Amino acid sequence: MNVYIRPVADLEPVAPQRWELYRVLAEPARLRLLALAAEEELGIGELAELLSESQPNVSRHAAALRQAGLLRDRREGTRTLVRIAADAARDAVVADALASGRALCERDGQLARIADVVRAREAAAHEFFARPARSKIEGPPSEMGAYLAALAPLLPRRSLALDAGTGDGSLIEVLAPIYERVVAVDRSDAQLALARDRVAARGYGNVTLVCGDLDARELRKAVGAGADAVVASRVLHHAPQPAKVVGQLASLCAPGGALVVVDYARHDDESMRDQADAWLGFEPAELRRFARAAGLDDPRVTTIPAPLCGDGPDKHLPWQVMVAKKGNGKRS
């Protein structure tokens, strides 16, 4: 019997990128990194803390995974944040690697510590806003409230507005003359003390102040079936998980209501971290993505002209506003 041996030259070569993929995923530290990046977008420093590795080592491992197409990174000021590439887990080899990485991370408690790392992002914000502040009422011209009250009937729905993250209550000056009722929430007692002084000084009898987070029971009770307008002015860049906050804000909107987010466009001023900023602004596409993920419709982002941005420490930054609507139908 004649046996034909196929020449080596006739064999179809194995795609080199597959060999590279196997080589990259042979390192346990990279499996762990990939699993952590699949759970949350994390900075190199945060990953180094979770993995108990040096930042240079983590950067090296992340670079190998990025070159293999498994990770995506983005610059955020001087920080580099990484996340798993979209659809990476569709590859059977990568899916198996992710499962192995998760098992390693679960065994050593690294997955459970992600929540602590995320909470640490807002530690500076907690400390910053908890500082005692001297009451100093400054605001628009005294007749501004009359002008706003005159324009109020132009709004089709103005039963209730929610001022999320009211701070010293400056936005109350705009909302209270327009809406029949205003609920203003902040988790800082020091900031709410200033807001309380402002409400008392202006004589706003239609304002309810609530101390707590966006999921506080007292806030949910005060808002009831939802607000016609939920306004978050310069709040999102302090949040450790901005997309989650947009979801919470959307849940406080009444059907047919609107979410209004005023925040910074992307910038590179690292000094704002001293003001407890967790993020250096957002791209318009990011804000729209957050809104759609929260089930809101028709999110629109527009630029706020610089002369309208006041004279505070952030007056030099680019401001923008996103408005999105909550549908009238029931949402899950």
- As a whole number, the mean pLDDT across the chain is 90
SS3 for 98? helix
Strand 79-84 relative to strand 253-264: parallel, antiparallel, unpaired? unpaired
Q: Cα angle vertex 286, ends 282, 287, to 5°?
A: 80
Do 95 and 89 meet the contact criterion of CB atoms below 8 Å apart? yes
Half-sphere exposure of 310 (CA within 13 A, CB side): 10
Q: Which residues contact 90 (CB under 8 A, 6 or more apart)?
A: none
CA distance linking residue 57 with residue 33, whole number of Å: 11
151-186 pLDDT tens trace: 899 898 999 999 999 999 999 999 999 999 999 999
Tokens of 166: 């009211």
pTM listed for this prediction: 0.81
With 70 as the cut, is the pLDDT of residue 292 above it? yes
Closest C-alpha to 296, from 248, 242, 225, 238? 248
Cα-Cα end-to-end distance for the chain: 70
pLDDT single digits (tens) 171-180? 999 999 999 9
CA–CA dist 207, 203 (Å, integer):
10
Instruction: Find, among 320, 321, 328, the residue nearest to 297 by Cα.
Output: 328
Q: How confident is the model at residue 296 (pLDDT cuts 50, 70, 90)?
A: very high
Residue 257's pLDDT is: 97
Q: What percent of the chain has pLDDT over 70?
A: 92
Q: How many CB atoms lie within 10 A of CB 158?
A: 16
The structure tokens 């400390």 sit at 127
Q: Which domains does the chain have, with CATH numbers?
A: 14-120 (1.10.10.10), 129-136+143-325 (3.40.50.150)
Amino acid at 219: L
Residues 9-64: pLDDT tens digits?
A: 444 444 446 777 888 999 999 999 999 999 999 999 999 999 999 999 999 999 99
Kindly report the number of other CB atoms within 10 A of residue 323's CB atom: 18
